[in-house]
Amino acid sequence: MKKLCLIAICSLALFVVVPVTRAQGGAKHGPEVSRDPGLEKDSQHNLEVARHYFKLKKAYVAALQRCEEIIAGNPTYAKIDEVLFIAGESSLRLAESKGKQTSKDSSDKLRDDARGYLSQLVNDYPGSSFRKQAEEDLKPLGGPKPKDSKP
């Protein structure tokens, strides 16, 4: 009788403990972000165009404008870390008068914008493949801004 009672209690415990441990296992993944497929598609197109302007055309004003459009319209975009990187690098290169375009903004404003974008990347996306380069580029700009500062 004692054996039967012990087996029943152990079986009951398994039904209670196992679901609890499974629920905790999902904590590795972080919060789910609801993304609009249409908005993601538009953002992906803008990112591809920004990459093209940035890498091939050296048209940093155009690349920056595409990135700013993504940042304003879809701040939870799946590849926002790359968007911030291209925006920061474009601003930095415009401040140094590089590329085929010129900006109306002053070099100081462009450097400050670059620092803001790259700081947001470093602070908010520590696992990004762009982080190391962003940290290098932030050194001459005074390092990353505190986490609460945005461009």
DSSP result, 100-151: S---SS-HHHHHHHHHHHHHHHHHH-TT-TTHHHHHHHHGGGTSPPPTT---
Q: How far apart, in whole angstroms, are the C-alpha atoms of residue 70 and residue 79?
A: 10
CATH topology of domain 36-141: 1.25.40
State the average pLDDT over residues 123-142: 97
pLDDT at 18 over 90: no
The dihedral formed by the CA atoms of 15, 17, 20 and 21, expressed in degrees to the nearest 10: -120
Segment 38-79, tens digit of pLDDT: 999 999 999 999 999 999 999 999 999 999 999 999 999 999
Taking the alpha carbons of 37, 39, 42, 45 in that order, is the dihedral positive or negative?
negative
Judged by average pLDDT, the poorest of 15-24, 40-49, 87-96 is 15-24
pLDDT at 105 over 80: yes
**pLDDT of 135:** 97
Domain ranges in the chain are 36-141
**pLDDT of 68:** 98
Write down the mean pLDDT value for the chain: 86
Do 114 and 95 touch, CB atoms closer than 8 A? yes
Q: Which two tokens stand for residue 119?
A: 């700081």
Q: How far apart, in whole angstroms, are the C-alpha atoms of residue 117 and residue 18?
A: 44
